[in-house]
Amino acid sequence: MKRKITLKDIARELDVSISTVSKALKNSEEISRDTKEKVQAFAKLYNYRPNNIAISLKNKRTKNIGVIIPDIVHHFFTTVFRGIEKFANARGYNVIVCISDESFDKEVINMEMLANGSIDGFIMALSAGTQLKNDYNHLREVTDQGIPLVLFDRVTDEIACDKVVINDTEAAYMAVEKMIKDGRKRIALVTTEGHFNVSVKRAEGYYKALKDHKLPVDEDLVLTLPNTYDNEGISKAFFEKIDIDGVLCVNEIYAVRSIRHLQDQGKKVPEDVAVIGFTDGILSKLANPSLTSVAQHGERMGEMAAQLLIERIEAENPYEKDPVYRTEVIKASIVERESTNN
Amino acid sequence: MKRKITLKDIARELDVSISTVSKALKNSEEISRDTKEKVQAFAKLYNYRPNNIAISLKNKRTKNIGVIIPDIVHHFFTTVFRGIEKFANARGYNVIVCISDESFDKEVINMEMLANGSIDGFIMALSAGTQLKNDYNHLREVTDQGIPLVLFDRVTDEIACDKVVINDTEAAYMAVEKMIKDGRKRIALVTTEGHFNVSVKRAEGYYKALKDHKLPVDEDLVLTLPNTYDNEGISKAFFEKIDIDGVLCVNEIYAVRSIRHLQDQGKKVPEDVAVIGFTDGILSKLANPSLTSVAQHGERMGEMAAQLLIERIEAENPYEKDPVYRTEVIKASIVERESTNN
DNA sequence: TTGTAGGCGTTATCAC
DNA sequence: GTGATAACGCCTACAA
C-alpha cells in the first residue's frame, strides 16, 4: 500500500527543508533550477498532492458548499441540486448535501454540523417544519457569523441574504389565463397546505387570474391536500363531486393524478378538462396525455444560487456592514403539451 | 458580527492556558471544579464549537463520505443517494456528492479532488464512460492508498472492494417468467447499449427465461437503444414493425414510452401486450395503466453501501493485507400493477 | 538559494 | 491542577 506522501516526506528523502520543497513545488523564483527539478520529479514520481484539510485550516477556506434541502427524491430539488453541483464544481467547489426531510430539527442539526468549519457557505430551501414553526434562529446564527447564505425557492423575509425564487404568482396567473383564453370557465386548483410560501403564491396567481377575467371564485373548486403520502383518496373524492373544465395543480404529481381521476370518470383530457401542472419534469413529458406544465427551470435556479454564493464567498470584503443582498427571480415558462388546447 | 470563537480566545479571556481550556471542556478529571465551571460557562455563553477542520487534521478522519454517481436526476440514483445520506448522517458522517455525468474524465477529476484528504471513503457507481473505457486505474489508486471504496449497481470485477448489487439476472428472469406464465409467447426486450453491466445481466435473464420455457429467441424482438436523449423515434419504429404480446424494459422510462407506443398503435395494455419495467419509481406508480415494475430497493442499497463503507472506515485494522471483501446482493422484487395480468 | 520559525485550531503527552 | 510542547500538513515572512 502506497501511503499518501507529504512535504515532510519529500524533504526528508531529498535532504532539504520543508519550505524549500513547498517553494520548489510552487515553482518559486527563490529556488534553484536544480533543486526545483529534483523536487518536482520526486513529487511527480510519488504522486504528491497537497492535503486539502491542511490547506483548509491554513486558508480558512474549505472550497466546500453546504446544501440543505428538504428532499432529494423530488424532481425539482434534484434539478436545482444538479445546477448547484455543476456550477460549483466548475469553480472548484465541492458540494456537501444534507437532507432535512422537511424537519426543523434535522435542518438545525445539519446546519450546525456544517457550520463549524466544514463549509464556506450555505445554499438551502427551507423545510416545511421550519416554515411551520416560523423559527429562523439557526439561519440567523449562521449569517451572524459571517457565513454566506443563499436561500432558494422556499425562502423567508425574516432573513437578510441572497435569494433565488421563481415568479410563482405570475406563473400560476399565466397558466390560468391560458385556460381562460381557451374558453375554460370552471377552473379548479389543487394545492398543498398553506405553510409553503410557494403554494400560497401560486394560489394568489390563480385567484387573481380569475378575478381579472371576471370569473367567479368558487372555494369548492379549491382542494388543499395535506402533506401526506396517501392523500390520493381525497383528491379522487374531490374530482367526483365537482364539475370543471380546467385544473391547475401546484406540482406534476397532483396533475398526473388529476388526469387519471378525470379519465376514470370518463372525462377526456384535454377535450373536456384541461390540466396544467407545475414542475416540468419527467412525469409531465411521459404522462398520457403529456402534461402542459410550468417549467421552473430548476437547474438554472441552482446555478444562480451557486453563483450568488460563490461571489459572496469570494468577495473582497465579505464582512462589510451592510451588504446589498440580491433576490434573483427565475422566470417560469409554460411548456405546452397535450393536456391543454394548443 | 460574532466571529467564531476558538480555544485560544477562551484561554486569553479567562487567563488560563489553551490546554486547560481543552481539558475543561472535555470534563477532564485533571481540572478543578471551579475552572471547569468557569470555562464551560464561558464556552456556552459564546457558543463555542470545535473547528471540524482542525479536528480532521489532527485525527486524520474527516467524517465525510464521498459519493460519485453518474447522474442525480435519475430516480434510481436519487433513492440510493437517499439511503446513503440517511445512514451516513445517523452515524455522524456528512456526504459530499459529485456527479460524473457518465464521463470518465469527470469521474477521475472528482475522485482525485476528494481523495486528497477531503473524505474517509468513497461510494460510487461507475460512469458509462468508465465502463466503456474499461479503465479503472483511478479506483486502484484510491484503494492502493488504503481509502475504503464501495461500488454499487455499476460495479466491476477488476477492483477488489466491497460491492452492493441487485440480482439483475434473476429479476429479469422472474419478470419474463411471469409473463410467460400468463400465457405470453412473443416477448420483446428493450435495453441499452451493452457496456452497462446491468443491461447485460438483465438481458441474460431474459434469454435464459425464454430458453428455460422453450420459447424461441428472436433477435428482432430485442431493441438496443443508444444512450442519447432523443432515441424515442427509434423505439417507436421498433414497435411498429414487430408483433408481440409482452415487453420487458430495463428502466421505467422505456417502459412508459413503450406503453405509449403500443397504445398509439391501438393496442391495449395489458390485454394485448403486457409491459414490465425496471426501477419502481414514481413513473411506474403514476403511469396509465400503472406499471408492473422490478423494484430495485435503491434506498436499501444505499444504506447497505454506507454501512459497508463505514464499517470499513472504522475497522480496527483498516490496512490489513488481505481483507475479505463482501458483495451484498439486494434482492429485487416485482411490484404488480395494471400493465400485466394479475 | 536555502532554512527557520510561527501559525491555522485542536489534542495528547509530559513536566511542573 | 495547570501549563508548555509537539504534532497533524501546509504556507510564508524573515533570517542566514
Claim to verify: residue B147 and residue B246 sit in the same structural domain: no
Taking contacts as CB-CB distances below 8 angstroms, the residues of chain B near A2 are 144-145
Claim to verify: residue B24 and residue B139 sit in the same structural domain: no
At B232, the pLDDT band (50, 70, 90 cuts) reads: confident
Q: Distance from B268 to chain A by nearest Cα, in Å?
A: 14
Q: Does the pLDDT value for residue B17 go beyond 80?
A: yes
Claim to verify: residue A325 and residue A249 sit in the same structural domain: no
B35 nearest nt, CA–C1': D1
A2 within some domain: no
Report pLDDT for A263. 94
At B334, the pLDDT band (50, 70, 90 cuts) reads: very high
Claim to verify: residue A153 and residue A68 sit in the same structural domain: yes
A142 within some domain: yes
Give 3-state DSSP helix, strand, coil % of chain A, rounded to 5. Answer: 45, 15, 40
In this structure, what C-alpha cell is assigned to residue A172?
400560476
A311-328: average pLDDT = 82
In this structure, what C-alpha cell is assigned to residue B277?
419495467
Taking contacts as CB-CB distances below 8 angstroms, the residues of chain A near B288 are 259-260, 263, 287-288
Q: Distance from A63 to chain B by nearest Cα, in Å?
A: 10
Provide the residue range defining the domain that includes B289.
168-296
B1 within some domain: no
- Sequence-separated (6 or more) residues with CB below 8 Å from residue B3: A145, A146
The reply to whether B17 has its C-beta less than 7 Å from any atom of strand D is yes
User: Taking the CA of residue A240 as centre, how many other CA atoms within 13 Å lie in the half-sphere pointing to its CB?
Assistant: 7
Report pLDDT for B321. 66
At B319, the pLDDT band (50, 70, 90 cuts) reads: low
The tens digit of pLDDT for each residue in A15-51 reads: 999 999 999 999 999 999 999 999 999 999 999 999 9
Q: What percent of chain B has pLDDT over 90?
A: 88
Closest CA to B70 of B224, B305, B227: B227
Place of cell 368558487: A218
Q: Distance from A168 to chain B by nearest Cα, in Å?
A: 23
In angstroms, what CA-CA distances link A1 with B112, B146, B199, B318, B325?
Answer: 17, 7, 34, 11, 16
Q: Assess contact for B101 and B107: CB atoms under 8 A.
A: no
Claim to verify: residue B20 and residue B66 sit in the same structural domain: no
Place of cell 440567523: A140
B29 nearest nt, CA–C1': D1
How many CB pairs below 8 A link A and B? 144
- Could you give the residue ranges of the DSSP H alpha helices within A145-297? 168-181, 197-212, 232-241, 252-264, 282-286
Report pLDDT for A227. 74
Report pLDDT for A1. 75
Claim to verify: residue A115 and residue A190 sit in the same structural domain: no
At A321, the pLDDT band (50, 70, 90 cuts) reads: low
- The Cα A103–Cα A117 span in angstroms is 23
User: Could you say which residues 55-74 of protein chain A have a Cβ atom less than 7 A away from any atom in strand D?
Assistant: 55, 57-58
Q: What percent of chain B has pLDDT over 70?
A: 96
Integer distance in angstroms from CA A36 to C1' D14?
21
Claim to verify: residue A309 and residue A321 sit in the same structural domain: yes
Report pLDDT for B3. 83
Report pLDDT for B233. 86
Disruptive mutation site among B48, B86, B93, B94 for chain A (greatest number of A CBs within 10 Å)? B94
- The Cα A246–Cα B78 span in angstroms is 33
B100-108: average pLDDT = 97
Q: Which residues pair with B166 in a beta bridge?
A: B330
A187 within some domain: yes
B337 within some domain: no
The reply to whether B58 has its C-beta less than 7 Å from any atom of strand D is yes
Count: domains in chain B: 3
At A196, the pLDDT band (50, 70, 90 cuts) reads: low
Claim to verify: residue A176 and residue A266 sit in the same structural domain: yes
A339 within some domain: no
Q: Does the pLDDT value for residue B91 go beyond 60?
A: yes
Contacts 24+ apart (CB under 8 A), B259-266: B259/A288, B259/B287, B259/B289, B259/B291, B259/B339, B260/A286, B260/A288, B261/B235, B261/B236, B263/A288, B264/B236, B265/B239, B265/B240
The reply to whether A215 has its C-beta less than 7 Å from any atom of strand D is no
User: Taking the CA of residue A209 as centre, how many other CA atoms within 13 Å lie in the half-sphere pointing to its CB?
Assistant: 27
Claim to verify: residue A56 and residue A122 sit in the same structural domain: yes
At A319, the pLDDT band (50, 70, 90 cuts) reads: low
Claim to verify: residue B287 and residue B305 sit in the same structural domain: no
Contacts 24+ apart (CB under 8 A), A222-231: A222/A188, A222/A189, A222/A191, A223/A188, A223/A189, A223/A190, A223/A191, A224/A191, A224/A192, A224/A193, A224/A194, A225/A190, A225/A191, A225/A192, A225/A193, A225/A254, A226/A192, A226/A193, A227/A102, A227/A128, A227/A192, A227/A193
At B196, the pLDDT band (50, 70, 90 cuts) reads: low
The overall average pLDDT reported for chain B is 94
The overall average pLDDT reported for chain A is 94
- Amino acid at position B114, single letter: L
Query: Domain of B307: which CATH number?
Result: 3.40.50.2300
- The Cα B212–Cα A221 span in angstroms is 56
B2 within some domain: no
In angstroms, what CA-CA distances link A67 with A63, A98, A102, A210?
Answer: 13, 6, 14, 38
The reply to whether B30 has its C-beta less than 7 Å from any atom of strand D is yes
Report pLDDT for A257. 95
A68-87: average pLDDT = 95
What positions of strand D are covered by protein, i.e. any atom < 7 Å from a CB?
1-5, 7-14
Report pLDDT for B320. 65
The tens digit of pLDDT for each residue in A207-261 reads: 999 999 999 999 999 999 987 767 888 999 999 999 999 999 999 999 999 999 9
Q: Over the range A138-176, which residues count as b (16 or more CB within 10 Å of their CB) and which as e?
A: bbebbbeeebbbbbbbbbeeebebbbbbbebbbbbbbbb
Q: Which of B57, B98, B263 sits opposite A94 (nearest CB)?
A: B98
Claim to verify: residue B195 and residue B255 sit in the same structural domain: yes
Claim to verify: residue A240 and residue A186 sit in the same structural domain: yes
Q: What percent of chain A has pLDDT over 70?
A: 96
Report pLDDT for A214. 97
Q: What percent of chain A has pLDDT over 90?
A: 88
Report pLDDT for B74. 86
B342 within some domain: no
